[in-house]
Amino acid sequence: MANLKEIRNRIASVSSTMQITSAMKMVSAAKLKKAQDAITAMRPYSDKLTELIQNLSGSIDGDTQNPYTDQRPVNNVLILVITSNRGLCGGFNSSIVKEVTKKIETVYANKNVSLITLGKKGNDILQKSFEVALNNNDIFDALTFANASAIADEFMEEFTNKKYDKIEVVYNRFKNAATQIVTTETLLPIVSDQEKETSAVVDYIFEPSKEEIIQELLPKSIKMQLFKALRDSFASEHGARMTAMHKATDNATELRDQLKLSYNQARQAAITNEILEIVGGAEALSS
């Protein structure tokens, strides 16, 4: 009977876990819908703005001051690492940490690399091995363009002051609830389409002047690119957590069914043994 009690306790424990994972799945599904709508609506604007900025950078002559397109030898690199504040989302955070570690150890092996971590999970792991210049765990509590702009203002100023020669962001790009793509984008310097050799430079008529366009539009584009990455990561997090909790619920259900079968088999065996003992005792008395 002790064995039966142990199985009953395991069934109760697995059932409790299954309820928790099922609830977490439903919560993430509800949050995913809102986050997915936000990034889907934002992408066309962000992509078009990025395309415009790249064409604009190629149209500006060398006499126009443009600190954000300054191409320098890369010695000091800043990487923005976007993860989540909470776990239970499969390989969402570990894939980002692996990508950043790989880049530091291979691509930037002989460079000075600093990190800005946006999300608690990435910071907890990366700070043990690398220099973290800034950590912001509160960004996802109020994910607004203003908060993203405040972070962007800091590293944009450091780039123009030549503290860093290149600034990248590593994040999970949202594809669907089951798929998140680890993506690396260069925030600074801005690379024109002419330098990428992807298309001919568009001949723009500037209104207002080129200088005013640089001063207003280019910084906004950088901030928008960071904000889009944060939105992408936020949607990806809920998609990854929903998928992970769905699988966990299915596994818990399967385990509970197996335990119930084992419990019934053990209970039937115990009943059969009791019957055999009674029959054996009755035969012994009659003889």
Residue 126 in tokens: 């990366």
**Which residues sit opposite 118 in a β-bridge?**
82, 136
Residue 97 in tokens: 């940490």
Pairing outcome for strands 166-176 and 179-188: antiparallel
Residue 127 in tokens: 């700070």
Residue 122 corresponds to which amino acid? G
Residue 160 in tokens: 């123009």
Q: Which of 56, 89, 97, 167 is catalytic?
A: 89
- The residue among 261, 263, 269, 223 whose CA lies nearest residue 80 is 223
> What would you report as the CA-atom Rg of the chain, rounded to the nearest whole angstrom?
29
Place of tokens 């809102």: 34
Q: Which helix (H) or strand (E) holds 135?
A: strand 132-136
CA dihedral 24, 26, 30, 33 (to 10 degrees): 100
Asked about 10 being catalytic, the answer comes back as no
**Which residues sit opposite 172 in a β-bridge?**
182
Answer positive or negative: Cα dihedral of 53, 218, 215, 142: positive
Q: SS3 for 279? A: helix
Pinpoint the alpha helices (H) of the chain. 2-59, 92-105, 120-126, 145-160, 193-196, 210-286
Q: SS3 for 79? A: strand
Q: Enumerate the active-site residues.
A: 89
